[in-house]
Amino acid sequence: MADVNETINGLLSELRRGTIIIGVLSQLSEPQYGYSLVPILEEKGVAVDPGTLYPLLRRLEKQELLESTWDTNEARPRKYYVLSPFGREVYAGLRREWRKLVVSMEGIMEEG
């Protein structure tokens, strides 16, 4: 028989995948570079590994949710990402949808 914890973990990582995007967008009203986001998110209980975060940031930029600038003043050049006006709007919409989702999921699980 499959291990309960293992199965839960597998399903959970599937669930988390989408929430990471909201987590990232929520932290980018101020410019951040990729690696500075990792501890911020982790502290708030949204663990994400850099190997996932970096490509994700790039994808969100390609979707025009984020804007990026290279800061070359520091010891090593870093790419800073910040929400674009479009991204801000999308994030606000996502927040509303997420709240609705939580309510309906709560409702469903209460019934069960």
Partner 1 sequence: MEIIERYIYAVTQRLPEKMRADIKQELHGLILDMLEERESPGQASKENVESVLLELGHPNTLAAKYRGYERYLISPFLFDSYLTILKVVMFSIAIGMTVVFAIDTITSPNEILEHFIDYFANLIIAGAQGFGWVTIVFAMIDYRQQKDTLSSGDKNLKWKPSDLPHIPDVNKQIKMSEPITGIIFTVLFTVICLYSIELVGVWRFDGGDRTVIPFLNADVFQNYLPFVWILAALGILNQSVRIIVRQRTAKLLVFHIVISVVTTVLLCVMLADPAILNPDFIQQLQAAGVMSDIGKDYDTVISIWNGISDWLIIIIVFFALIDIISETYKWYRTKTTV
Interstrand relation of 66-71 and 32-33 (parallel, antiparallel or unpaired): unpaired
Selected range binding partner 1 among 4-12, 15-23, 76-84, 91-99, rule: CB under 8 A: 76-84
Which residues are 71's β-sheet partners? Answer: 78
**Sequence-distant (≥ 6) Cβ neighbours of residue 77 within 8 angstroms:** 70, 71
Binding of partner 1 at residue 34 (CB under 8 A)?
yes
Choose, by CB under 8 A, the member of 16, 26, 67, 79 that binds partner 1.
Answer: 79
CA dist 91 and 84 (Å) reads 10
| C-alpha to C-alpha distance for 81 and 27, rounded to whole angstroms | 10
Applying CB under 8 A, does 51 fall inside the site for partner 1? yes
Q: Does 16 bind partner 1 (CB under 8 A)?
A: no
Among 50, 69, 89, 92, binds partner 1 (CB under 8 A): 50
Query: What residue spans of 1-112 are helical by DSSP H?
Result: 4-26, 34-43, 50-62, 85-111
According to the binding rule CB under 8 A, does residue 88 interact with partner 1? no
Q: Least distance in Å: CB of 75 to partner 1?
A: 9
Which of residues 14 and 111 has its CB atom nearest to partner 1 in the complex? 14
Q: Which residues bind partner 1 (CB under 8 A)?
A: 33-35, 49-52, 54-56, 58-59, 62, 70, 76-79
